[in-house]
Each structure stands twice: as structure tokens, then as C-alpha cells.
Structure 1
Amino acid sequence: MKIIVISDTHLSRKSRKLPTLLLDVLPGADLILHAGDWSDWSVYPLLSEYAPVEGVAGNTDPSEIVEKLGYSRIVEAEGLRLGLVHGHQGSKGTEQNAIHTFAGQQVDAVIYGHSHIPVMHTVDNMLVFNPGSPTDRRFQKQYSFGIMTIDQGKIQAEHVFFDKD
């Protein structure tokens, strides 16, 4: 199973578009995960043209998105449980907020956004992954998104880094 992981797209009907490199890999996806800060619901149907989409709302999203998606969820994919959250809620740093969201629940990975900083490591045999942002790199050298594969119960993840279109 191939999963495209994005966050912090901050798109609206009138501004910016998804980058060409991301659009080129979307047709091969079995699932798309969005970790919040869509900014406009129009992004959801756009992504849904390529594959099923699971997502959560972020701190900049309007109430329409919050009501439809909520702030966290567990997505099951090929028998694995993927915790999906933006990471802005809580009193700790973004990563700790994200991990804490799923405390006491069995998850194989925690996927979050908010910081726009690509992260990939494991904590207690759990993958912790932030794809960065494909549209707003902030202080990062490059834009980024993630690709996860699940094969025989194992998750592999990578970041795709790129310069502006």
C-alpha cells in the first residue's frame, strides 16, 4: 500500500496550487493522509480525485473543516493503526502534543504537522512522522511531503524534498 502524506498546504480557491511534483505522485497513491491546515475545503475534493483521503483539521482551518474532520483520528491501513493529528493542541512542543494525543491507545505511527518541519524517527517502536509542507517551507531549505509504504505489516516512510516549481 502506498500512502502520500501531506500537511500544512494552506491552500484556498484563490491562492497557490499543489506543486507539480506532488501532483505527479498522487495518481499512484492508495491513500492520502492530510495532517491539517488545509485552509479551504476545496483541497479535499481535489485530493479525492486521486485516492481516498483521510485528514484532520489544523489551527488555521475554518469551522467547516473542523466539523467535518475533527482534530485527531486513527486511520487503519492494512492492519496497522496510524494516529493522525495536527499537533497544535496541548501545552508541550508540537511533536510531544502529537504523541500525547494517542497516549494509552495502540498506534503504529503518529503523523502530525503544524511545525512545517520534516521529522522521521521512532519512539518505543512507533514511527513519528511529520511530512513538512509542500507549499510553505517556512525556515526549511526545501518544500516536502511524505511517502509511506505498508508491506506485510511493516511501515516504511521517506520524505520527498524539492525546490519550488
Structure 2
Amino acid sequence: MKALVISDSHGYISNARIAIGLNPDVEIIIHLGDYYKDAVRLSELYPNIRFEFVSGNCDGNKDISTEKVLEIENNIIFITHGHNYSVKLNYKRILERAKAENAKLVLFGHTHVATIEKIDNILLLNPGSITQSRSRFSESYAILDINKNKIFSDILYF
């Protein structure tokens, strides 16, 4: 299954729409918070694509979860915005949670900096920000190819 992962859209969906247009074969879009309502808007524009999302520290809606556990192609995936796990400091707490969930993949945002790192056989992926990058690169998103045996990941920049 091919997935498009975005985070920190902050009310702007134009880059997300470009990313979707460049990847017409995605079957799921995962929005990692900070304006989860953008995921809701996108799901209305692309009703044939499955959407999963969590809220972030800028969302303010206590009714939308800040984390979820997904199972895709027999892979456990933990998704969260990341602010509740202090991801700007280190990955210790989020890694502990991933282990508790038996996750092979952790998707998180919050830092606005794209990163892919494997620790203790768990893939940690932050797609950066689709609209407000804080890295030396430009805005970014991630593409995942998830199958039963392996998860392939890539970060793409605008």
C-alpha cells in the first residue's frame, strides 16, 4: 500500500494538493496534526482516498485524538503529532511508546524538520512540514510503500 504522509499544514492545503497530484496512486493519506481540519478538507476533495489523522498542539480540539495505532499490511504503525513525547528534545519517550505498541514504524511531526531514523529496529519518520519548513531544505512530505515484508520510505521536498 502506498501512503502519503504530511504534517503541520497550518491551514494551507495547496502544497498537499500538489503532493497528491504528483502521487495519484496513493491509497492512504496520513496527516500528523497541526490543523487536522486540513485533512478533513482534503478528504472531501479526494473522497476515494483513505485518510487518517491526529490532532496536534495547535489544534485545540480535545475530541480528536493526538495519537493512533494503525495496522497496514500486517505492520503496526504508531502515529502522533509528537508534542506529547518531547520529540524536539529526543526520541526516548516516543520510542518507548512504539515498543509498547509493538510498532515497526512511528510517524510524527511537530518539529517541522524532516527526518528518517531507525532505532532498535523501529523506523521513526517525520515528514517535516508541508507548509512551514524549519530545516535548511524546503517544505516536505513523505511517501511510504508498505508491504507485508518491508516498509520503504522517502522524503520529498518542494
TM-score, normalised with respect to structure 1 = 0.83
**1:26-37 map, 5 Å:** 26-37=23-34
Distance 1:71 1:90, change over 3 A: same
Structure 1 unpaired stretches of 5+: none
Which residue of structure 2 lines up, in the alignment, with residue 5 of structure 1? 5
Deviations 1:102-151 (A, max 9, x none): 34220010110000111101111111100001111134321100000013
Which residue of structure 2 lines up, in the alignment, with residue 17 of structure 1? 13
Structure 2 unpaired stretches of 5+: none
Q: How far off its partner does 1:35 sit?
A: 1.0
> Matched residue of 1:21: which SS?
helix
- Determine which of 57, 60, 65 is the counterpart of 1:59: 57
The range that moved more, 43-52 or 141-150, is: 43-52
**1:63-78 map, 5 Å:** 63=61, 66-68=62-64, 70-78=65-73
Contact persistence 1:147–1:158 (CA under 8 A):
yes
Contact persistence 2:31–2:39 (CA under 8 A):
no
Q: How far off its partner does 1:43 sit?
A: 3.3
Contact persistence 1:4–1:146 (CA under 8 A):
yes
TM-score, normalised with respect to structure 2 = 0.86
Matched, 1:47 2:43: yes
- Determine which of 92, 114, 117 is the counterpart of 1:118: 114
- The number of residue pairs the alignment matches comes to 154
